[in-house]
Amino acid sequence: MNLSDLNWQLFISSAIALIIGLISIAFSSKSKTARQVGVLLIGTGIFFCIVGLFAPNEDPNQTTAEPPTSTPMNIPTSSVAAATPTTPTTTATATTDANAASVGTDPYLAELKVLQDASDVYYNKTYEVSGQPYVHSILAECGSNCTTQKKISYNLGKKYRKLTFGVGIEDNSATREQVAVFTLIADGKPIFEKTTQKNEPVTSQEVDVTDVLTLELAVTATKNKSSQLVWMTPQLHS
């Protein structure tokens, strides 16, 4: 047992009571009551001295050592990164169409603004002639008025050197016996004319349009029966 563990407050109080009891007996030997009080104080002092030796010292300032707190260890966890599937990048390669625009600024005629229009004429669409589709084409549709010439015109502004194209009757035309006449007129002068029938083999055409300001496309047919007459992929070249 350490001295710091004794209850010194109780021990000192008991010692004082013991001393007072001894003094009472020493100076009051003739008084029976005083001697009895002295004996009682001595007995009380002895009792509390003994108790003070064993009573725990409850010091409010005394700190009780707490057991050390165990610090949890951070156990590294191995994280497996989810493998992200990589999608192979496929580069779409455009198939070169025989009717596609050539590289450069050479426009299709159907893309230009029409100077003079006509009824039942359709621009910049794809039509089939003799089983072959032709993009950026111009179609003139006729029925009971096929023998009447349809004419449209463009302002070329003397910017182009030549015009490439084809002519034919669209495969969906109801009349097999139809015959069509296609004519090109440059500044009032005919520069091209071709007569064709349905399902006739297509031939590529080329005409010189150097210094041409106004170009007219005219078409007519020999029978007044439902027909679709096509200028196939007309394209200007500088």
- CA dist., res. 20 & res. 192, Å (int): 152
115/16: higher pLDDT: 115
Residue bearing the bigger pLDDT, 78 or 192: 192
pLDDT at 99 over 60: no
For residues 93 and 74, give the distance between their C-alpha atoms in angstroms, rounded to a whole number. Answer: 55
Cβ–Cβ under 8 Å, residues 56 and 7:
yes
Weakest mean pLDDT among 57-61, 81-85, 122-126, 193-197: 81-85
Element (H, E) at 33: helix 32-54
Residue-level pLDDT at 237:
97
Q: 88 pLDDT exceeds 90?
A: no
Q: How confident is the model at residue 40 (pLDDT cuts 50, 70, 90)?
A: confident
- pTM greater than 0.85 (yes/no): no
Buried residues in 18-54 as b, exposed as e (16+ CB within 10 A) = bebbeebbeeeeeeeeebebbeebbebbeebbeebee
Q: Model confidence at 229, in pLDDT bands (50, 70, 90)?
A: very high
Q: CA 229, CA 146: separation in Å to the nearest integer? A: 10
